[in-house]
Amino acid sequence: MSYNRKTRPTVNECVEGILSGDRILLSRTITLIESQLHEDNQLARQIIEKIMPYTGNSTRIGITGVPGVGKSTFIESFGNLVVGQGHKLSVLAIDPSSKKSGGSILGDKTRMESLSKNENAFIRPSSARTSLGGVAHKTRETLLLCEAAGYDVIIIETVGVGQSEIAVHEMVDFFLLLMLAGAGDELQGIKKGIMEMADGIAITKADGENMNAAKKAKAAYQNALHLFPAAESGWSAKVVTCSANENTGIREIWQLIKDYGKKVKQNGYWQERRNRQNVAWMYEGIDEYLRTGFFNHPAIKSELGKITKQVENGQISALKAANHLTQIFEQKSING
Amino acid sequence: MSYNRKTRPTVNECVEGILSGDRILLSRTITLIESQLHEDNQLARQIIEKIMPYTGNSTRIGITGVPGVGKSTFIESFGNLVVGQGHKLSVLAIDPSSKKSGGSILGDKTRMESLSKNENAFIRPSSARTSLGGVAHKTRETLLLCEAAGYDVIIIETVGVGQSEIAVHEMVDFFLLLMLAGAGDELQGIKKGIMEMADGIAITKADGENMNAAKKAKAAYQNALHLFPAAESGWSAKVVTCSANENTGIREIWQLIKDYGKKVKQNGYWQERRNRQNVAWMYEGIDEYLRTGFFNHPAIKSELGKITKQVENGQISALKAANHLTQIFEQKSING
């Protein structure tokens, strides 16, 4: 297919491109989603509406774990296995660092060197930071585009800082928690609430000297999981050990995810979970609409910087500032 | 002061009542804030604007820790100490359970029996659940009202599930993390990101057989904290052990908070942190305004339930549902 790279592609160009698996048009559409421009978002919305009938057919896997747990190497090993079995894989990220200082977790494709070179793998760095929130919403839309482009296994990765795991959990079918064994347990420990969300736990770096500690941790976590109330899914979370370096345990995790899928598709929970996620998705869509309408309004755009500075300097209160901006918005919306 | 309890108090009645420390009018105003009715929120907004000049003069303390760490007993001991020294204390809660099943963390005042009977303590159960978000925003407004009513120490409590600590951290001067020593470390461990936010860590239940484990944990956490980069505040987080049962360590924690306050008021960080929080507050105020306007619109109110059910049943997609609702909103807003 040929199109002009310098101009914006049309809705139909994007839709056809995505459905035919064109990576460049897929990327460009994701860029439209992540854009700060209202017109770009509008265009993205139209594209998504058209590709909707072709979505939903992937296994959506959420992967989380603290920095240092070996997420990139795990995803690389896991991804190579999955792609090697004939699947098309895409790796997306939710990066909550927008509100904190800190680097993007997928900013560098070289992190997953061999996987990123595979034509059946699509790795997308995390979306641009925005103070307007909506990162999760944009990730969901990106997921839909990937599904329409034929990716049937989608990994959504997050760095563990609390908010993001919850957001990821709300958009995946299977939630995998990566944990380190041994030294530093106190520090890297994951809270009960996060463990409770996990459908599977993988103890990483289970090799060499670490092997024993990993086995012990496996037993300990498996015991701990028994203490949780039975999950609605009828599935009991499993703990496995793995080593991305030695390429062990990776196959077991993929099998685990497939077993899970089989079980909960049978008992109806798979669809039930997705339906529930869709309601959250609807609310996010509304939020996104409201925020975009507000912060892209010319009158707000021209005032926001000044007012923010005044709040920062303590010249006006947060409440007065919010009132001032909402009043401007109300008047301008009424009077055009 | 006399007023009719059956009708809504006026703005001026509330303002005067709050400034004179009337607990009933304080409670009724908080109820206005938490109300789902637009008119109540409007009234609350006017009250808050009037009491703004009388706010800001408290020490705002965030307290978090996993269930079982002994938050209620800690707050009771701590609160009794603070009130005994002539302070007026209020205890508020952020309860993120709105999005999950689970009980309210401060629903039962009997949790802090002696404290709740003290006339200089004001304990407020967590605000009503709402799918519209804004819980943090409402807690901030409640905090302002308490300050105007003369409460000079305010505790904002949260149950640890990830999102809420971050919300609390964004509205307090001092963030205290409660942790258990010994058994179950793997499970109750708090993530590095949360530890990094803490200005102080208290190892609870440091008594009897637990004493040794608590001391060890104190040393371990103190060492761990040294590994973190220096805080902007110039303050290094301290770890203490305490026992609410034996009433030990509680005084040290209060002293710690006062030391912190002294230091960061001198170096300017206290105000800087509050100014930064105010910007977040402004954004939340805008969000609240947008959501209230949308979800209280009669056309949306009458459609939302039906559409939500259709999404739950998989009859329409989340995106279509969001689009449908936003289109209704847009048309009705324009045509009256």
CB contact under 8 A, B192 and A66: yes
Amino acid in position A185: D
| CATH code matching the domain that covers B55-277, chosen among 3.30.565.10, 3.40.50.300, 3.40.50.2000, 3.40.190.10 | 3.40.50.300
The angle, 0 to 180 degrees and rounded to 10, between the axes of the packed helices B269-295 and B298-312 is 90
Between A319 and B58, residue with greater pLDDT: B58
The pLDDT of A198-225, averaged and rounded, is 88
CB contact under 8 A, B286 and A323: no
Q: Which of residues 119-178 of A touch B (CB under 8 A)?
A: 131, 160-163, 165-166
Enter the tokens of residue B153: 């120490």
* Element (DSSP H or E) covering residue A32: helix A23-34
Q: A191, A284, A291, A313: which to substitute to probe chain B, counting the most B Cβ within 10 Å?
A: A191
- On the 0-12 / 13-18 / 19+ scale of CB atoms within 10 A, A52 is middle
| DSSP-based three-state secondary structure for B59 | strand
**Residue B129 phi, psi (nearest 5):** -70, 145
* pLDDT surpassing 90 at residue B321: yes
Say if CB B221 and CB B181 are below 8 A apart: no
Which of A202-216, B132-146, B148-162 comes out lowest in average pLDDT? B132-146
Amino acid in position A92: L
**Residue A60 phi, psi (nearest 5):** -95, 120
β-bridge partners, A200: A176, A238
* pLDDT surpassing 60 at residue B2: no
* CATH of segment(s) A56-277: 3.40.50.300
Between B126 and B297, residue with greater pLDDT: B297
Quote the pLDDT of residue B96.
52
Mean pLDDT of chain B: 83
* Element (DSSP H or E) covering residue A113: helix A113-117
| DSSP-based three-state secondary structure for A178 | strand
The pLDDT of A259-280, averaged and rounded, is 93
- On the 0-12 / 13-18 / 19+ scale of CB atoms within 10 A, B155 is buried
CB contact under 8 A, A45 and B318: no
d(CA A70, CA A159): 11
The pLDDT tens digits for A175-210 are 999 988 864 443 344 555 677 788 999 999 999 988
Q: Give the confidence band of A35 by pLDDT, cuts at 50, 70, 90.
A: confident
CB contact under 8 A, A194 and B289: no
- On the 0-12 / 13-18 / 19+ scale of CB atoms within 10 A, B142 is buried
Task: Please give the model's pTM, rounded to 2 decimal places.
Answer: 0.70
In Å, how far are A293, A330, B296 from A297, measured between CA atoms? 6, 11, 22
Of A131, A221, A311, the CB nearest to B278: A311
The CATH architecture of the domain made up of B1-54 is Up-down Bundle (1.20)
Task: Sort out which chain B residues have CB atoms less than 8 A from A186's CB and list them.
Answer: 185, 189, 217, 220-221, 224
Quote the pLDDT of residue A127.
54
| Smallest Cα distance from A16 to chain B, Å | 20
* Element (DSSP H or E) covering residue A92: strand A89-94
| Smallest Cα distance from A117 to chain B, Å | 33
Amino acid in position B139: T
Q: Give the confidence band of A87 by pLDDT, cuts at 50, 70, 90.
A: very high
Quote the pLDDT of residue A96.
52
| DSSP-based three-state secondary structure for A151 | coil
* Element (DSSP H or E) covering residue B102: none
Task: Sort out which chain A residues have CB atoms less than 8 A from B66's CB and list them.
Answer: 191-192
d(CA A129, CA B303): 33
Quote the pLDDT of residue B5.
56
CB contact under 8 A, B190 and A195: no
Enter the tokens of residue A170: 């709300």
Which of A4-13, A94-103, B321-330 comes out lowest in average pLDDT? A94-103
| DSSP-based three-state secondary structure for B203 | strand
Q: Which of residues 295-334 of B touch A (CB under 8 A)?
A: 307-308, 311-314, 317-323, 325-326, 333
Q: Residue ranges of the domains in chain A?
A: 1-54, 56-277, 297-335
Quote the pLDDT of residue B28.
94
Tell me, what's the ipTM? 0.73
Which of A89-98, A234-243, B135-144 comes out lowest in average pLDDT? A89-98
Say if CB B194 and CB B160 are below 8 A apart: yes
User: Tokens 């040290």 correspond to what residue?
Assistant: B252
- What is the dihedral sign for C-alpha A162, A166, A172, A174? positive
Q: Which of residues 7-66 of B touch A (CB under 8 A)?
A: 45, 48-49, 52, 66
The pLDDT tens digits for B292-301 are 889 989 999 9
Quote the pLDDT of residue B105.
45
The pLDDT tens digits for B247-306 are 999 999 999 999 999 999 999 999 999 998 999 889 888 988 898 889 989 999 999 999
Alpha helices by DSSP H, listed for chain B, are 11-19, 23-34, 38-51, 71-84, 113-117, 135-148, 163-169, 185-188, 192-197, 211-226, 250-266, 269-295, 298-312, 318-335
pLDDT exceeding 70 applies to what percent of chain B? Answer: 83
Of A190, A314, A319, the CB nearest to B52: A319
